[in-house]
Amino acid sequence: MQKDIIKIISIVLITVILAATVLSGCGGKQQSQPTPSQSSQNATDNKEPIKIGHLCALTGDFSMWGQTANNALLMEIEKINAAGGINGKPLQLVYYDERGNQIEAVNVANKMIDQDKVVAILGPNESGIAIAATPAVKRANIPLIAIAATNPKVTQPQDNTVEKNVFRVCFIDPFQGKVAAQFAYNKLNVRKAAILYDVGSDYSAWLTKYFEDAFKEMCGEVVAKEAFRSGELDYRAMLGKIKQQNPELLFIPASQKEAALAAKQARDLGMKCTFMGGDSWASPDLITLGGSAIEGAYCINMASIEDPEIQGFVKEYRDKYNTDPIMPTSVLAIDALKVLIDAIKRAGTTDGPALIDALEKTKDLEVLTTKHFTMDPATHNPLNRPAIIQQVKDGKFVYVEKYEAK
């Protein structure tokens, strides 16, 4: 028995020695010093990554905005990691498909927080999704930076209050409603406007109110206002009533699919007025589906692919993905990432409360779309972000001007 034990021990020792010799032979040669770029990359290899969540729709009606934002973030994070990461640590983007569904978004947010241990969440693009995910980030006490969620209640659920954990990099609906009204009145000389909106959509209903209030404030007249519900395909009865009032402009704060269909039906009825919409129109689908009916229409956006300041990004995106980035979520996603990274650097930690405090103090930060991004600590909305006016010309969106509501 004892001899057997000694024999076994001897075999084990010999095996260990042989294994050590083999490993020494594999790694014993003197390695050449890495180049600085390799060293920066390698410096992050053995460190825990900083995990950042991205709440986005990768399938469904909102997927084109979610996909382009996700592509932009992956491209930017790849560059950051190649340069050594942030504070010597690599970034890791964690994302799941929330499908534009509020229940799924809550599940995804909780999964990223509890399973993946993300330090912050970027996105979403939809206001309802952002509001639904808010309890999850409040529970974990980490920040959420909405990319294109424009409803004021995302960051301010009640007047004179602010949602401590939630920020955004986009403008808000009262602002774009005012921009649309003032541009129509001052630049297009419209005095009689009509509205066709989705009564089942908070976005559409509130943007309708903000446009109407601002237009009337300038002594413009809203001669007709008709409502439909999401999923309806025939707007001709409503458009017939609007036509009778002979408006100069029809404001349609709805999705690109609904707006395109309404525009075609309006033209079929012989309506000659100008069409205008909000940032929800900012999709190639509007032009594809609307065809000639949407030609000459205006929309409010947060970014334009023709903006000279983002041409470097546009080229990188085209080179990597062989397609154009979709505005505005592709560039706003980069803005949100840059705002978060700046907060991490200034805080010196990824601790949630410290990041929230640093985000509130963001001032004059150069991001992709502006050189002076400043967060309003009282509202968690960006200060002084102008809107972009675009027009459909020759089957594509054309940059008209940057416009600030007075």
Residue 183 pLDDT greater than 50, yes or no = yes
User: How far apart (Å, rounded) are the C-alpha atoms in residues 90 and 41?
Assistant: 8
Q: Please compute the mean of the pLDDT values over residues 354-374 and round it to a whole number.
A: 97
Query: 0.85 cut: is pTM over it?
Result: no
Give the DSSP H or E segment for 56: strand 50-56
Q: Which residue has the tokens 């205006």?
A: 298
Residue 179 pLDDT greater than 80, yes or no = yes
Cis before 124? omega within 30: yes
User: How far apart (Å, rounded) are the C-alpha atoms in residues 109 and 95?
Assistant: 9
pLDDT in tens, 75-93: 999 999 999 999 999 999 9
| pLDDT-based confidence at residue 46 (cuts at 50, 70, 90) | low
Structural tokens at position 146: 């909405």
Q: Please compute the mean of the pLDDT values over residues 90-101 and round it to a whole number.
A: 97
Give the DSSP H or E segment for 301: strand 298-301
Q: Please compute the mean of the pLDDT values over residues 182-196 and round it to a whole number.
A: 98
Structural tokens at position 391: 């027009």
Average pLDDT, the chain: 89
At the topology level of CATH, where does 46-171+307-375 sit?
Answer: Rossmann fold (3.40.50)
Residue 185 pLDDT greater than 80, yes or no = yes
Q: Please compute the mean of the pLDDT values over residues 267-289 and round it to a whole number.
A: 95
Residue 16 pLDDT greater than 90, yes or no = no
Our CA dihedral for 225, 231, 234, 235, rounded to 10 degrees, sits at: 10
| Sequential DSSP letters for 93-138 | EEEEE-TT-HHHHHHHHHHHHHTS--SEEE--SSHHHHHHHHHHHH
Structural tokens at position 64: 């084109």
Better-predicted residue by pLDDT, 114 or 282:
114
Q: Please compute the mean of the pLDDT values over residues 324-350 and round it to a whole number.
A: 98
Q: Please compute the mean of the pLDDT values over residues 321-348 and round it to a whole number.
A: 98
Domains 46-171+307-375 and 174-301+389-403 agree in fold: yes
* Percentage of residues in the chain having pLDDT higher than 70: 88
Residue 39 pLDDT greater than 60, yes or no = no
Q: CB atoms < 10 A from the CB of 287, how many? A: 20
At the topology level of CATH, where does 174-301+389-403 sit?
Answer: Rossmann fold (3.40.50)
pLDDT in tens, 210-223: 999 999 999 999 99
Q: Please compute the mean of the pLDDT values over residues 378-385 and round it to a whole number.
A: 94
Lowest mean pLDDT among 178-187, 285-294, 302-311, 349-358: 302-311
Cis before 90? omega within 30: no
| pLDDT-based confidence at residue 45 (cuts at 50, 70, 90) | low
Q: At what angle do helices 352-360 and 329-347 cross, to 10 degrees?
A: 110
pLDDT on residue 81: 98
Q: Which residue has the tokens 């976005």?
A: 203
Domain boundaries along the sequence of the chain: 46-171+307-375, 174-301+389-403
Our CA dihedral for 264, 265, 269, 273, rounded to 10 degrees, sits at: -60
Q: Please compute the mean of the pLDDT values over residues 198-226 and round it to a whole number.
A: 96
Q: Which of 251, 189, 175 is nearest to 220 (CA)?
A: 189
Residue 7 pLDDT greater than 70, yes or no = no
pLDDT on residue 61: 85
pLDDT on residue 332: 98
User: How far apart (Å, rounded) are the C-alpha atoms in residues 23 and 27?
Assistant: 6
Q: Please compute the mean of the pLDDT values over residues 246-258 and round it to a whole number.
A: 97
Q: Please compute the mean of the pLDDT values over residues 112-126 and round it to a whole number.
A: 98
